[in-house]
Each structure stands twice: as C-alpha cells, then as structure tokens.
Amino acid sequence: MNNHEGVESLALGRFDERIIGTGECRDILRELFPILRKRAEDDLNRYQRDLEQACYFVRELQEIFLLVYWQPEVCGLRYTMYAWPNPVIVMNSGYNGTNPDAYERLIDAMANYLRYPWLRHDAIDASAISAILLAELSAAAPGNAASAFIRWASGTLRKSRTDAMSEAWKASLGSTIHPSELKQRVTAAEGQGASYPPILHALIDRAAAKGPHATIRTRPMFADDRHS
C-alpha cells in the first residue's frame, strides 16, 4: 500500500465481521488512526508498522474476550469485544465464572499494553478493568447469589468483602467509569481483604492521572446503542 488510506483499509479488513466484537475493534482502530499518523510524522513505513502492532494487539484482545467468560447467553454476535455481563445474570445461576487461562492471558496482555502509551484507548481500559473486577469477584464468591448467601451465613465467606468487591465491580459499569471513584471502591474492597492484581491499579491510576474529573468511556465514539 502506497498511501495512508490504503494501509488503514487493509487494517480494518483484517477483522472478520462474522466474529463477535469486530465492530468495536474496527472503531478502536479508527480512533487510533490520527494518533498513529501524528506519531509516524508522515513516515508511511513507520505508520504501517505501528498500525500492524495495533491490529495484532486488538485482535489478541478480541480473542481473549471471546474466551474469558463461559456465558452462553452472550455468545451471539455483538458490537463489543467484552460481553459486559449483566449484574442480574451475574447474581443468578446463568453466570458460570471466569476462564482462568483466558484471564491470565488478559493480565499479560494488559501488562504489554501499558508499555505502549500510544495504544491507549478508553474502550480497552474500560473492558479490561471491568473484566478484572468481575473475575476477582467471581473467585471470591463463586456460584450464584443463593449459594453465596449460604457461605456468608455459615461464616465461610466474609460478606463485607464480597459486598465491597461487588460495589467496585458495579462502579465499572455504565457508559463511563470515574477512575477516582473506582479507585476508592477498589481500595475499600482491599481494606476488607480483597486482593487485586497490580495491573488493575496501574490501569486505574493512569486514567485518574488525567485529573479529578477524568472519565473512561466504555465504548468508542462511533458506537451506537444497538451493540450489534
């Protein structure tokens, strides 16, 4: 390809529209195009290399999010990479927990992601943050709400810890995340005995560094409300 538009068209074409999350993947790339163009300073070869790296990472993340949750009711085509599990489903038997191998891959991918600030994107941050919070909540209180209540009543699970972890996860839902508020809830959960991976703090802290009123959008600006 001998021009920027051709390189961009090729990059978008690498995402199969029949695969879950392709709509969001393509929109993430569209938002990265001007950032990468500026970074490349009119060097088309450098732009192509950076865009190839961005494509590789976003495709890897798309695959990880396809595997991270065993949740048959969200296996149909959707706009987002991440399933954004509904709290009602999570608190009932429809939620079957986290795939540990995919979760480990997510943690590793996010560590690599932080090495490249120019790849930063709100939809990636938001999806990873919410997925990590839910995975850790699932590990602390596996099963549905009824079985969790039995464990609380029997004293085998600290209700205050899981309540705090649930509040932290719920703070990662909605159209935007407020990192300063989320940081407080994560810290509160840790005060009750929760243990989150360091990468979670790194993602939240980076977003919060933008200022006390910083927010993280949970979807790219091109997304509509259909999530299809």
Q: pLDDT, tens digit, for every residue of 44-56?
A: 999 999 999 999 9
**100 in any annotated domain:** yes
Q: pLDDT, tens digit, for every residue of 118-176?
A: 999 999 999 999 999 988 888 887 654 445 544 545 555 556 888 899 889 989 987 88
DSSP secondary structure of 31-98: HHHHHHHHHHTT-HHHHHHHHHHHHHHHHHHHHHHHHSB--GGG-S--SSSS----HHHHTSTT---B
DSSP 210: T
**8 in any annotated domain:** yes
Helix (H) or strand (E) holding 84: none
Phi and psi at 2, nearest 5°, equal -110, 15
**72 in any annotated domain:** yes
Who contacts 214 (Cβ-Cβ below 8 Å, separation ≥6)? 178, 179, 180, 207, 208
Torsion sign over Cα 94, 165, 156, 195:
positive
Buried b (16+ CB within 10 A) or exposed e, 138-147: bebbeebeee
Q: pLDDT, tens digit, for every residue of 77-89?
A: 578 888 777 666 5
User: How many domains does the chain fold into?
Assistant: 1
- Amino acid 83: pLDDT: 78
Q: How many residues does the chain have?
A: 228
d(CA 50, CA 33): 10
d(CA 44, CA 101): 37
| pTM (predicted TM-score) | 0.84
**226 in any annotated domain:** no
**224 in any annotated domain:** no
What 3-state DSSP class applies to 146?
helix
216 - beta bridge partners? 177
**227 in any annotated domain:** no
Q: What angle do CA 52, 58, 63 make, to 5 degrees?
A: 125
- Amino acid 119: pLDDT: 93
H helix and E strand count, the chain: 10, 2
- Amino acid 159: pLDDT: 61
- Out of 3-7, 42-46, 220-224, which region has the weakest mean confidence (pLDDT)? 220-224
CA of 201: how far to CAs of 93, 110, 180, 181, in Å?
30, 12, 11, 13
- Range(s) of the domain holding residue 29: 4-217
**173 in any annotated domain:** yes
- Amino acid 226: pLDDT: 39
